[in-house]
Structure formats: structure tokens, C-alpha cells
Structure 1
């Protein structure tokens, strides 16, 4: 029989009353928190990602039947746009604080034309899909998938509930798209490939088959959903159900409901049932102890020893495992970040050595930002993976499964974007350029003058032309040497700026990583310590109950055993 959220809420409430009646306010509070999480209305974030000009914003507009995301041939999304459920509709600019904005200003903020610094634009509208528990995030595609923005987008996917990777039907998946998809699935397993613009390309079915083949080749088992945003919006305007079905959006909406919204609800339900099972097990422990004492009063010593061991659990070996695991985690993440930063500097210096920074500096700026963001995103992924491993190891030592934790790991910040952009100007002043040329010209003239003077002194007629030739040759060499010196100077300047930028990225990412490690440690320590205290308290309550029952007369123990059996069956029904 399928257990509904309402059924589990009723069981949590009844178990809470039993816990409170047994004097276990701590267990009752745990159940209250579980019930609050079960009925939470927090939306599941669905990130819409992909290369720019693939139809992401148009897809979002068609999916939610709105026109708030700006779309045009020369318009790109510069800020993440978060669309949530809200009544009445509203919009806000998300920076250090949330600043309300008018709907007429939304487009210029999204495209970055407003001139105001912000992290995102949040829009709240009344849409059924959003009301069901989704928050759709239209991510920027500026600069390409392998750009700094693309890598920053990847870093945020660890906190998304699902991802829609958007590519159009003009061509099959490219190598960068497949690589981005692979990294996306690592961070967000619930990923769907959405093939857009099927109305513009008659061979979209062949493209879809090719995309499926590429995905299989790389071991990616993802649904491919062909859609036409144009047909969807045309169907809305005409209220045409058949045209809407032809657009492909009904399948996409169904996937979002069943694979994202329903799965998130199922996860919350499973977590609530785990909490219920934990609490009823603690309550049953006392009943089982009393029932054992009613049959044999000599079990008192055994429960006393059990109480002693449970008290020791608060300072058990799981704390050693946690401390060692966190130290190893911090060391691994720090070493990984340092190695990535060193590699970035080494590769950057090789690029500088092979070119003149004045000619290639803009390309190097983009390369450095992209590689720094990629390094930060991969370092963050290592932190998330290793933190989950530490949680699992501590949970195993504690004698429970990691997914039974009542709290989730904390959200992890992304520090690469905090570094001051890499900047450098190679434009020499007019005076500096003049002095460089003047030095070469002065030496060339000096050689010509010297040889000319010698010829006049010794009456050698060809000395002056020879002096002219020697002077020009020497001057040319000096001009070339001066140019090479200037190139080397620019390389030195560029290398210093690159190292400054990488050092700043490493500082911000490292600081955020250390803070995330500390928060993870506190979270795991507090969670397991709370469970240890509850287990110890349950063991102490069982020991006290055993002593009380053992002191009763035989007839009283029999009557008490019958009452205990009924209470035990009640708890079993709640936990089933």
C-alpha cells in the first residue's frame, strides 16, 4: 500500500504525542522538525543550461507561458534569471540585498544593460508548474560552455535538483557539449537533454538519434526531449491542444512532474519515514526493556551495562573518524587547489613565452578567467564528493546509513568570481616610444659619424658611404634588440599580473573551501552528537524502567507485560 504524506504526517503527530507522554521531549522535537520538512514548500531548482543562442530563454518562456525572459538575435542573458511561484507577481534584483524592480525593467537587468551590479534577477509569477514546486533558473550562456561563466554555472549545479541541457536541432552534439554534459551529470544526476527549434529543422529526428548515439558512447543515459517553443506559443495563442502536443512540451512537463517534483516529494517522504523509524525504535527500546524485566527481573545488570556503553557513544570512535576524515578532506582539497593553480600559472607562462602579450592579451585574459573558473568548479566538486565520503564513513562507524541523516550537507560557495579580473595595459606613452627609437637612431648616427670622421682625417673617400652602411646595419640590430627587450618586458609584466590573478583566485576559493569544511564538520558533529545523546538517554530510561518493573510483584509484572504488549503493537503500526 502506498504511504501518502498525509498518512506519514498523522503518524509523526501520534508518535510525537507518545514521545512527549514518555518524557522524551527531545524525540518529540525531532519529529516536529521532520514534519516541518515534509510539508516544506521550498521549490526544487531546475537549471536551464547550454551554449548561448540555443533557445534557452525561449524555452523557459514557452514552458511557463510567459514573455519575461528577453529573446532576440542580438540579446543574450547576462544574469541568472530565477522564476518562482508568487502571488501577486513581483520582480527583484538579487545582490547583497533584495531590491524590488518594475517588470518593465526586468529585461535590461537580465541582459546587463542596466549598469547595476547584481548576482541574479528573481521573478515571481502565478504558474501551475511553479506552484507545484519548481523554480526554473535561466542561466547565462555568454562566452560558451568552456568559458568562465560556463564553469561557474557548473559549480552551482551541485545545488540544483535537476538540469535541462539545451541544444538546437541544427546539428548534432559537439565535443564541448558532450564534455559539458558529462560534467553536468556528475554534479546533477537528474539531467535531461532538450532538443529545441524542431520546427526550423526538418531532420531533427535524425539529429535526435545522433545525439542519443553520442550519449550512449560516453555512457550517459539521458532522456532526449525534442521541442518547438514556437509551436508551443502558437498553440497557446490558438488554444490548440493538438498543436501543443506536437510541440513536444507535454512530455517535458510530464518529466519535470514525475522525475523532479514527485521524486523530490518522495525523498522528503522517505526522510520523514526514516525519522519516524528512528524515534519509534528509541521508544520501543524502553518497552522491550520493561517487557524483559517483567519476565525476568535478573536482566537489570545487562541493561545497566548497555546504558554505560550508550553513554560512552557520545565520545566514541566515530568522533575520531570524523576528525581524521575532516583533516584528510581539508588537506586533499587544499592540495588539489594548489596543484591546479600551479598548473594554471605554468600553462599561462608557456602561452606568454610563445607570443607577444600586446597582441594576445585579450585572449589570455579570457583563457585565464576560464581556466580559473574551471579549476575552482572542479575543486568544489572534489570537496562535495569527499564530504559525502566522510559523512558515509562516520555514519558507518556510528552504525547507521548516511542517507538517514536528518540534515543535508551545507551549500558550498563558489569563490572564483570574487577575484579582481586580470587587467594589464601594454600601451607605452609617446615619450617612452620616442626614447626607444631615439636611442637606436642615436647609436646608428654615432657609428656613421665616427667612420665619416676617420675617412676625412685619412683622406679615404669611401669611408663615409661605408660609415653610412655600418650605421644603418648597427641601428637595425639595435632596433630589433629594443623590440625584443620590449616584448620581454611585456611578458614579464603579463606574467606578474597572471600570478597576481591566480593568487587572488586561490585565496578566495581556498577561504571558501576552508569555511565549507568547517561547516561540514560542525554539521556532522552536531548531528551525530545529538543522536548519541538520544541513544544514551533511551538506554538510561530503559535501565530505570527495568529497575522499576523488577521491583514489582509477580502479578503486577504480568499485568504490566500485557499493557506493554499493546503499546508495542501501537508503535509497530506507526513504524510500518
Structure 2
């Protein structure tokens, strides 16, 4: 069995819509592909309060559609032929709920929003007996409204459309936009100008509407009608009055649509749908190609020059951060040693004052505790200052690369100040002035006094040992003991000072070495971190250069692919136009 040409074009366009992510277009074409070939579907669209319901009721000579203040169904109402009047509500899962025609309005009002797909109504009218289905759509309004979406969704399988606009005013910009959209997707469109019975100037409005449609490139006749006059003529059987209503011309147009052969209708409907979908796809691809062209507006040479400038800047940054790190580490080492030296010097001064005034034998226990605590505090403070200065150096070096690198810094926490491992100061050997030593020193000093004053008093005839010589010996003994005690105190103070100062010097030497080791550790961590960062930036720059070079070829490839796809879609558009021409419609061509 030979596949119709229109079906081949439709399937190819359907595949293109899916390939380019246009599921909405693919769904419309799919519905046209699977449409029932045995009938004609005619949709009636319009904005609110334009007389759409009155128009349909007048066409059928039956109160089928809601009019006036009655609630308009939020879903399409399909009116077809039936031997007996009846209605059914079709749910989202295609379930059918039979409803009496007279109870239809109440049943619709009781249904929750979003539960219905459409309403089907059957009436015994000869106009519908050949398979014609009239579709009353919800009023068109806000593009985001579900009612508008439901109304425009009918275009996917409509063979013809009657646009409704009243004669109170010419077509608005929104109505022209709706007409343009409808004509894009539907091969046969007519504009029904309603309410001419209450608008004396309807002829001028009709002429202005014809002009506006022609200027917009919309092929649609304008048929003035009056539903009120039509219904009055139907009641009285007045043929002349019926002619004045304008409905004979509208009914003739509807009969013409229903009389078309199914194959001709299917081919024409497919051709129009393919052309509409292809035009939208071509517009999308052209916009993508233009965007790609704008992105490629900066040519490869400019991009490479920009990358070269960034490379030069990176080399300057490398030299700058290395010099900055070396200078700051040198300053930190000198400042840390000076800080520790200054703190220990202050401690030594306090040691001198303490032992210039006190006896080590009495104050040494309290002094030793104070010295250990003060040295530990000095070392901890020095380490804390060193750690804070190291963090500042890290941030200063990171700022050379940019502020965004200041947050991702290496761990510079030191293992500890080592203050807890400071040994206790050893107690010096303090010589005590014991009782026996004082007695011996006193006897030694008293000998000179007794001998000296005994000889002087012997000249006066007194014996060598007399009260005067004994008193002098006691005085000399006391002075000798006092002088010896003072000299022994000075020796103890000197020994204590020397012991304390040696301990301070030992602490300084040890922890100044640890401080220098900590600074070298900080330097190595920062050096390794920023060297790695510089290498990563250099690799990124190299990759960027390679991407720029490869991107030019890729952009050219994508551009050529887009051009080929646009040409292919334009060819489909042209083939669909030829099919439409053979089916009885001459379309406008799409420029590729």
C-alpha cells in the first residue's frame, strides 16, 4: 500500500519537532496524523462577550450553548449529530458521563475545575448529519489562562475555524493576533461579525476589518451576521428576514467545509500543520544561529590575545607572590625573635630587681613559681602572635591572585607553643651562715680588738685582758659577723641571679629555635599551596587556549549543522506548500 505524500512529510516534520525538543508542536502534528478522516471539525473562537454562543445557537436553531449571564464551560463543547438530543461529560481519563441536555448547565457547575476534557452534545440537525462537528470553545483571554489554552488546543484537529467579533468596534490588536495564529494552523478561516442588528455602523466596521485582515496577510472573509434576526426568522419562517440575518452566507461557507473529501481535507490539514511547525522550528533555529553568531562575534584572535594577556598577568603574579612571601617570612622571623627577646629581657630586669633587694634563701620558692609562669606566658604570647601574623601573610599573598582565593588557604595551625614543656628553674646552691660559722668569725674578729686595745691600755698599767679590751673585742666580733653576713648575702644573690638568667637564656635559645622552625614550616606550606595554585591557573589557561582553538571549529560545525537543518525544514515547508496547492489552497512560501 502506497503511503500518501502528505503523511511522509508529516512524519518527517513530526520527527524534527521531537528532535528539537518541541513537544507541543509534535503533539499537534501527532493529533493531525491520527485525526478521524470521516468528518469535519469546525471550531468557533472568540474573546468574551462577542456573541459566540448566540451564533452557534442560531446556526443550529437550538439552545445548545450557554449565552448571556450563563456560566460558559471551561472546556470545549462539541456539537454533533444525534437522532435524539443528548449530552455527555468526558473526563480526563476519557470516561463518559451521560447527562440530560436540560441539566447540562447545572452538571457543569457542579464539576470541580480540571476534571473534564470536553462536553459532547448531540442534536438532530441535518447540517450535522454528514459528520460535521461544531466546537464551541471557551472564551479566549489571558494567554496563561487554562480556558485560553483549552480553546487554542482545539486548533490541533480543526478543519475550519469561525472567528467571532462583534460590530461594536473594529478588530483589536489582540483579535488580529488571534486571527494570525488561527490562520497559521488552520487552512480555512472566516470572521463572523456579530450584533449587526444593534450597530448601525456595522458596514464601516466590516470594511475596516477586511482591510486590517488583508494588511496582516490573513486570508479570511468577513461575514456580518445577526443571531437575533436569525432566530426571529426561524420562529416566523420569514425567508427574507433570514437573508437579512446574514446566516445563509455563513451556512453556505460551513456546508462548503463539510463537503470536502476526507483525503483532500487530511492532506490540506497536514500541509498547513507542517508549514506552521516548520516555520516555528526555522524561527527557533535562526534565533539560535544568530545567538551563536553573536557569541562568535569575538573572533579567535581576540580570544587568544585575551588569554595571552592573562598568561602575562599570571607570570607577574607568580613573581610578585614569591617576592612578597620571602619578604614577609624574613620580617616575621626577625620580628618573632625580637619579640621573644624583648619579653625575656623584661623578665631578666625583674630578676635583677628581685635579688638586689631580697635574700634568695627566703624568696626563692615564690620567685621560682613566678619565673616559670611568666616564661610560659611569654612563650605562649609569642607563639600566638606568630600564628596570627602567619595567617595575615597567607591572606596577603592570596590577595595577589584575587580576593576569591583568600578563603581557600592551607592549614597554618602550629603544633603548640611548647610552653607546657618548659622545665622548672633549678634552685641554686645557696650558702647559709650557720651558728658555728658565726662563732668562728666572731672569735676571729674579736682577737684583733682585744689585742689592739689590750696593748693600748697596758701602757696605762692595765693588764692585756681588761674590760676595755674585752668590750673592743666584742664590738670587733659583731662587726666582723655583720660584714661576713653581708658578703655572703651578695654571693647568694649573685648565684641566684646567674641561675635565673641561665634558665631564661636556655628558654630563649630553645624557643627561638622552635619559633624559627615554625616559621620555616609556615613558609613551606604557603610556598607549596601557592605554587600548586599557580600551576592550576596555568593549566586552566592552557586548557582555555586549547578550548578556544577547538571551539572555533566546533562553532563552525554547529553553524553548518544549523544551516543544513534550516534548509531541510525550509524544504519541508516548500513540499507542504506544494501539497496544499494540490489540495486546493495556495500558501505563502517560507524564505529559507
Q: TM class, shorter-chain normalised?
A: 0.3 to 0.5
Decide which structure has the larger Cα Rg and report it: 2
TM-score normalised to the size of structure 1?
Answer: 0.43
TM-score by length of 2: 0.42
